[in-house]
Amino acid sequence: MLKKTIVLLPGDGIGPEVLRAGAAILRECAQEFGHQFDLPEYPVGGAAIDAAGDPLPPSTLEACGKADAVLLGAVGGPKWDALPVGKRPESGLLGLRKGLGLYVNVRPVRLRAPLRGISPLKPERLGELDLEIVRELSGGMYFGNPEMYSVPEIERIAAFAFARAEGRERRLCSVDKANVLASSQLWRRTVNTMSQVYPAVQVEHMYVDNAAMQLVLRPSQFDVMLTSNMFGDILSDESAALVGSIGLLPSASFGTGAPLFEPIHGSAPQIAGKDMANPIGTILSVTMLLRDTLGLGIEADWVERSLDRVLASGFRTTDIAEPGAQVIGTAAFIDHLRQEMQSTLAHAERYGWGV
């Protein structure tokens, strides 16, 4: 039995809608497995600007700093677009990453079996798509012009990516623009030096323009992709298109402070408040939290099996609906998932796994 505090940061737009799914799952896990999860909620982004005149109020950062983990929805929206760059909702998120010392962002890109049909790629091109993007989160073009990286900054993110590759298929593709950027040349040299420490991992270097193309031509060639802040941001949105919707992908950020879990999408202002947001990216962010940070693999498997059963039953949010699918809203999707979680638990014996 675990006793943990997970700070919830709903944020803006569809953030609060998808975060409801995350909170519901955490409550189910606590109830069924006897854990105690405290889930205090704090404002961030535009909501925090409106409430406190600051996209990252000190009380929010302080609560996150003391938490075991943080779960975020999304920030931003047209209401705050006219504000100067440092005062916008997005600066609250950058401040949070900095305040928590987060420098690694992991974005798994995996096709869920019931959703193979929604990828825009032909099945023969798609193959068994299962890759991870390890994105540097604390430096690069987001924080310096021209882009700057130091050797220790590259070493710590590369060490994370090598370790991740060791736990998977032991293939690491480091993506850079070393033919143009001095920062990329340092990046490549440092990754090569580090590779001597991880002889079991096969290392390949790829220019970012080629990587963008290869992702579409043959995505299954990749195992772990290691890249900088800006390139990782762009390549992960491209990867989201491969699986069919940006609403499907989760992420986890790690560093020196509390880890942060969030779907990779933004606040999607066009669909906010319309009960149309896909909550799966948030649901899978919660399973990363359960598995990677709390060590609750059985609980995470339980949620993912139940999710696949909801999808196998044909339920879809609008963004992932094939012709003939049963289109439902965000709230109904969460209800179906909770029901499926109960029924999966009741039939755990039948599915051959012990709870």
Stretch that binds ligand NAD, among 58-66, 106-114, 118-126, 270-278 (CB under 6 A): 270-278
Stretch that binds ligand NAD, among 56-64, 137-145, 269-277, 305-313 (CB under 6 A): 269-277
* 209 counts as catalytic: yes
Q: DSSP label at 75?
A: -
CB contact at 8 A, 307 and 315: no
Token pair of 34 as six digits: 């006897």
**By CB under 6 A, residue 246 contacts ligand NAD:** yes
Quote the least distance from Cβ 251 to ligand NAD, whole Å. 9
| Alpha-carbon gap, residue 164 to 186, rounded angstroms | 22
Query: Which member of 12, 54, 177, 223 is catalytic?
Result: 177
State which of residues 25, 29, 63, 271 lies at the interface with ligand NAD (CB under 6 A): 271
Stretch that binds ligand NAD, among 101-109, 115-123, 164-172, 266-274 (CB under 6 A): 266-274
Query: Which member of 142, 275, 292, 335 is catalytic?
Result: 142
CB contact at 8 A, 261 and 43: no
Stretch that binds ligand NAD, among 61-69, 146-154, 263-271, 288-296 (CB under 6 A): 263-271
**By CB under 6 A, residue 90 contacts ligand NAD:** yes
Size of residue set near ligand NAD by CB under 6 A = 22
The secondary element (H helix, E strand) that includes residue 197 is none
Token pair of 297 as six digits: 């693999």
Total length of the chain:
355
**By CB under 6 A, residue 229 contacts ligand NAD:** no
**By CB under 6 A, residue 273 contacts ligand NAD:** no
| Alpha-carbon gap, residue 116 to 337, rounded angstroms | 20
Report the residue number, 309 or 316, with the smaller CB distance to ligand NAD: 316
* 87 counts as catalytic: no
State which of residues 266, 328, 334, 337 lies at the interface with ligand NAD (CB under 6 A): 266
Dmax over CA atoms of the chain, in Å, equals: 58
Query: Which member of 12, 54, 223, 233 is catalytic?
Result: 233
Report the residue number, 184 or 317, with the smaller CB distance to ligand NAD: 317
**By CB under 6 A, residue 75 contacts ligand NAD:** yes
Query: Which member of 79, 87, 207, 237 is catalytic?
Result: 237
The secondary element (H helix, E strand) that includes residue 103 is strand 102-110
**By CB under 6 A, residue 242 contacts ligand NAD:** no
Nearest residue to 134 via CA among 27, 255, 46: 255
**By CB under 6 A, residue 147 contacts ligand NAD:** no
**By CB under 6 A, residue 328 contacts ligand NAD:** no
- Can you tell me which residue has the tokens 């909550």? 279
How crowded is residue 85: how many other Cβ atoms within 10 Å of its Cβ? Answer: 8
**CA dihedral sign of residues 152, 153, 156, 161:** negative
CB contact at 8 A, 6 and 54: no
State which of residues 21, 260, 268, 296 lies at the interface with ligand NAD (CB under 6 A): 268
**By CB under 6 A, residue 31 contacts ligand NAD:** no
Report the residue number, 76 or 114, with the smaller CB distance to ligand NAD: 76
| Alpha-carbon gap, residue 191 to 151, rounded angstroms | 10
Quote the least distance from Cβ 268 to ligand NAD, whole Å. 4
Tell me the sheet residues that pair with 106: 134, 252
* 79 counts as catalytic: no
Classified as helix, coil or strand, 108 is strand
Q: Cis omega before residue 146 (within 30°)?
A: yes
Percent helix, percent strand, percent coil in the chain, to nearest 5: 50, 20, 30
Catalytic (active-site) positions = 142, 177, 209, 233, 237
Return residues touching ligand NAD (CB under 6 A): 14, 18, 74-77, 90, 93, 246-247, 262, 265-271, 277-278, 281, 319
